């Protein structure tokens, strides 16, 4: 079983242009251990946020810190499901999702920070196991998601870049770092 897909950045022909910004944020290297390191960094940062700050919004109409963490879980679920469908060669089209509707109905602000963080941790560990099982052929298979073809491996890199993006937003706009 070969795993060259893990160290080679997805080409622009493997995803919609919208995802290029997320993929570009991911450092070079093996994406699987990178996802694990990223998880540990996020857990450290999020666990340092006091429960009393979880409902903080940096501006009216913006998500709370809890909603951002919930959004990361929701998006990772959607992207990993798409990656699974692609890797398993399911040719059925997958619809898009409305991230704002998901956030609005997530009830994240009623949950504890610890609960939201634990959910994300379990989800990410499960996804790392799934993605590590992909060989090159499975990783390069495509699914049509939200009207555009995308490879399983591009989705894995999108997951990493998406978390990097929101981690930066949390640091800069919510935590003032």
CATH code, 170: 1.20.120.450
Note the pTM of the prediction, 2 decimals.
0.96
In this prediction, the residues of the chain whose per-residue pLDDT falls under 50 are none
User: What pLDDT, on a 0 to 100 scale, did the predictor assign at position 1?
Assistant: 65
1, part of any domain: no
93, part of any domain: yes
User: What pLDDT, on a 0 to 100 scale, did the predictor assign at position 50?
Assistant: 97
11, part of any domain: no
Pair of tokens at residue 112: 């504890």
Look at residues 153, 127, 167 and name the one whose alpha carbon lies nearest to residue 36: 127
Domain span holding position 104:
16-52+61-174
How buried is 18 (Cβ within 10 angstroms: 0-12 exposed, 13-18 middle, 19+ buried)? exposed
104, part of any domain: yes
User: What pLDDT, on a 0 to 100 scale, did the predictor assign at position 66?
Assistant: 98
User: What pLDDT, on a 0 to 100 scale, did the predictor assign at position 3?
Assistant: 74
8, part of any domain: no
Q: What total of structural domains would you count in the chain?
A: 1
83, part of any domain: yes
2, part of any domain: no
Look at residues 157, 165, 2, 170 and name the one whose alpha carbon lies nearest to residue 80: 157
Q: Which residues contact 15 (CB under 8 A, 6 or more apart)?
A: 23, 148, 150, 151, 154, 155, 158
7, part of any domain: no
User: What pLDDT, on a 0 to 100 scale, did the predictor assign at position 176?
Assistant: 85
Pair of tokens at residue 56: 């903080």
């Amino acid at each position: 079983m070969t795993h060259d897909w893990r160290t080679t950045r997805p080409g622009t022909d493997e995803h919609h242009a919208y995802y290029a910004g997320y993929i570009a944020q991911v450092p070079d290297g093996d994406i699987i251990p990178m996802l694990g390191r990223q998880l540990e960094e996020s857990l450290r940062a999020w666990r340092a946020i006091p429960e009393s700050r979880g409902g903080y919004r940096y501006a009216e109409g913006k998500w709370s810190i809890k909603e951002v963490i919930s959004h990361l879980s929701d998006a990772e679920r959607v992207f990993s499901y798409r990656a699974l469908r692609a890797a398993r060669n399911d040719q059925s089209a997958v619809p898009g999702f409305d991230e704002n509707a998901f956030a609005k109905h997530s009830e994240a602000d009623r949950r504890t920070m610890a609960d939201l963080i634990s959910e994300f941790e379990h989800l990410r560990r499960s996804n790392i196991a799934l993605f590590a099982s992909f060989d090159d052929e499975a990783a390069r298979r495509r699914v049509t998601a939200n009207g555009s073809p995308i490879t399983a491996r591009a989705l894995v890199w999108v997951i990493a870049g998406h978390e990097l993006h929101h981690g930066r937003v949390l640091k800069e706009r919510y935590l003032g770092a």
